[in-house]
Amino acid sequence: MKAIVQDRYGAADVLTFADVDRPPMTDDDVLVRVHAAGVDPGVWHLMAGLPYPVRLVSGLRRPKVRIRGMDVAGTVEAVGTNVTALKPGDEVFGTCEGAFAEYVRVRAEKVAPKPANLTFEGAAVVPISGSTALQALQRGKVRSGQRVLVIGAAGGVGTFAVQLAKAFGAHVTGVCSTAKIDLVTRLGADDVIDYTRAEITGTYDLILDTAGNRRLSRLRAALTPTGTVVLVGGEGGGKWFGGNGRALGAVMLNPFVRHSLLGLLALVRPHDLRALSEFIAAGRVVPVIDRTFPLADVPEAVRHIHNGRAAGKVVVTV
């Protein structure tokens, strides 16, 4: 089968389009014929092996898993003997290791039925970014009537966060660049701040920061006296800590302030996929796709994500 493989860490040039064997299955696995795969910043981090602690999991000298890609949508080709909830022909979406390929082996509990009102491309961009946005709002204990600020509102996580916060009944303000104001407004934001022309104003019960380029002191200044900040990823911070440096600082400061300063380590969980499917089926959440690339052009898709210009998600078709 065709796949995007990587045998060393580095820039997008280390990703090559090659022929590889189909992955072997175990009794608890599902073999999925991939139709689309999402591209997110995690793909770049695993490709580059940065920040360095990533390599403790992914391999110290070279990647343990040769095929990149985590978000997947496709059709079940075969199931292991212990799998009873899925059958060949089922359309599914979820997470895996090795989505940038024609076929991928997935643990059965890592996928769920694809929402009927989504294309494979739409479904492929939901699992990681949608789950991250949902868990960030849950960690921030969002409630109806609260004022929520989403920084990075036009990004992969941000586009989901704006819609989900509105679905929970919050008053949502999005922060984005001039070119993306119309998109964030269409997603349902009540107010939009153009960060190229204005600073954040007002006070908020909950701030979700997906951009990672503002100091904690500036975020705290925009909170109500008992408000909450949830730090969701973010770039920068150097080769050793990356965006995790700010989260570590927040955890250390949190016990000494009235505000709640929280980091987030999101995991894609089956019940979150089901919850997202319900929001999508009801038309309350619509995935935003910025660009689509063929499988052979994954290196270019990763470059597009890494330059920070994408509005919404990037997807690869197989």
pTM over 0.75: yes
Q: Which of the listed CATH numbers 3.40.50.10310, 3.90.1010.10, 3.40.50.300, 3.40.50.720 matches domain 129-263?
A: 3.40.50.720
Each residue's pLDDT tens digit, 278-288: 999 999 999 99
Write the class of the CATH domain 2-126+287-317: alpha beta
Residue 214 banded pLDDT, cuts 50, 70, 90:
confident
User: What is the arithmetic mean of pLDDT over 299-306?
Assistant: 95
Each residue's pLDDT tens digit, 40-70: 999 988 999 987 888 888 998 999 999 999 9
| Mean pLDDT, rounded, of the chain | 94
| Phi/psi of residue 297, nearest 5 degrees | -100, 20
Each residue's pLDDT tens digit, 136-187: 999 999 999 999 999 999 999 999 999 999 999 999 999 999 999 999 999 9
- Could you state, in order of their start, the residue ranges of all structural domains in the chain? 2-126+287-317, 129-263
User: What is the arithmetic mean of pLDDT over 268-272?
Assistant: 94
